[in-house]
Chains A and B, each alone.
Chain A
């Protein structure tokens, strides 16, 4: 995970720098603790007991432990992509499924791989395969994303972003 200083000084990656099948740098997070999970619930005011009450999660809902929230996974993916395209790129869209449950003790790897790059309306698009794996290499959040990276010399990525006409 990058520090505030690294994010402040991030050098721009350009569309021309990216190759299809290229792996993005992983984010390694963890071990995840009950406290991390509780902190997320408190921050977004999600009071579902399966996220902080182990007795309820295991005894009532028959889960293995308290669970890391899907909303956290939904938020760490765009963060990971945002950091990759900073400062001038844009994370347009992402989609993912919720598969393996994430629980305290897990070591997480947020990952991405370029599957296609293309130009549309003078902007540089990159399609990615993305996910979050645990220490057993089990996929928890398989999905896809589309981001924009600026050209070295070309049209700037517009802000606010306007989706392409087709």
Chain B
């Protein structure tokens, strides 16, 4: 049984297909960031650190794990400290509150307060390599309404992000289903 009114308003529907600006990640793919990432992933693949071996592979050079570019949107060294900003107005912040939205996507204005990660899709076309610049561009690929088993209305917002390099070659595409409930 349905409880309450639809949460998929015309304003929210109007955001489907909205494309954010293409944004450059600060810095380039570099060895130390790649080491920390691959160790945290527990992947000792020599393609990520051994120049001589990597040169002998089909990739021809040191490469990154498949969706490494999707973690390259890190805080640039200028501007406000985002961690301090998180706690500036709320000492009980979840730690993420001060982070700017760099996707360029407008917020989904809804009375639904909680956001859960419902799932992911990835497509991989090329591995990033040392020295690569990474660019990303996001869009609202879909926004649909669902009912929970209790009859509550939910929004499932799919954000698609395409990652490219300095030659505008697509490296990977990610889609994240965000459940607003």
Distance between B98 CB and nearest chain A CB, rounded to angstroms: 9
A11 close to B (CB within 8 Å): no
A97 close to B (CB within 8 Å): yes
Please report the C-alpha to C-alpha distance between residue A160 and residue B118 in the assembled complex, in whole angstroms. 30
- Chain A residues contacting B59 (CB-CB under 8 Å) are 159
B44 close to A (CB within 8 Å): yes
Q: A29-B42, A40-B40, A43-B36 are in contact. Are A91 and B124 (CB under 8 A)?
A: yes
B94 to A49, Cβ gap below 8 A?
yes
Q: A1-B42, A78-B122, A95-B121 are in contact. Are A87 and B57 (CB under 8 A)?
A: yes
A3 to B44, Cβ gap below 8 A?
yes
B120 to A56, Cβ gap below 8 A?
no
Question: Which of A29, A72, A78 sits near B66, CB closer than 8 Å?
Answer: A78
B67 to A95, Cβ gap below 8 A?
no
Q: A4-B45, A88-B58 are in contact. Are A160 and B94 (CB under 8 A)?
A: no
- Chain A residues contacting B116 (CB-CB under 8 Å) are 98
Distance between B25 CB and nearest chain A CB, rounded to angstroms: 12
Chain B residue nearest to A1 (CB atoms) is B42
Distance between A128 CB and nearest chain B CB, rounded to angstroms: 14
Which residues of A approach B to under 8 Å, CB–CB? 1-4, 7-8, 29, 36, 39-40, 42-45, 47-50, 53, 56, 60-61, 70-72, 74-76, 78-79, 82-83, 87-88, 90-98, 143, 159-163
- Chain B residues contacting A3 (CB-CB under 8 Å) are 44
A7 to B46, Cβ gap below 8 A?
yes
Please report the C-alpha to C-alpha distance between residue A27 and residue B67 in the assembled complex, in whole angstroms. 19
Question: Which of A29, A56, A74, A97 sits near B122, CB closer than 8 Å?
Answer: A74
Give B28-71 interface residues, CB cut-off 8 Å to A: 36-37, 39-47, 50, 53, 57-59, 65-67, 71
- Chain B residues contacting A70 (CB-CB under 8 Å) are 117, 120
Give B97-143 interface residues, CB cut-off 8 Å to A: 99, 116-126
B75 close to A (CB within 8 Å): yes
Please report the C-alpha to C-alpha distance between residue A45 and residue B99 in the assembled complex, in whole angstroms. 11
Q: A4-B45, A93-B121 are in contact. Are A71 and B53 (CB under 8 A)?
A: no
27 A-B residue pairs with CB within 8 Å: A3-B44, A7-B44, A8-B53, A36-B40, A39-B40, A42-B36, A43-B40, A44-B37, A47-B95, A47-B96, A50-B94, A56-B94, A60-B92, A72-B41, A75-B66, A78-B65, A78-B122, A79-B41, A79-B43, A79-B66, A82-B45, A91-B66, A92-B123, A95-B120, A95-B121, A98-B117, A161-B126
Question: Which of B42, B58, B74, B124 sits near A93, CB closer than 8 Å?
Answer: B124
A159 to B40, Cβ gap below 8 A?
no
A44 to B71, Cβ gap below 8 A?
yes
Question: Which of A74, A87, A98, A162 sits near B125, CB closer than 8 Å?
Answer: A162
B23 close to A (CB within 8 Å): no
A76 to B118, Cβ gap below 8 A?
no
A97 to B119, Cβ gap below 8 A?
yes
Please report the C-alpha to C-alpha distance between residue A60 and residue B121 in the assembled complex, in whole angstroms. 30
B169 to A160, Cβ gap below 8 A?
yes
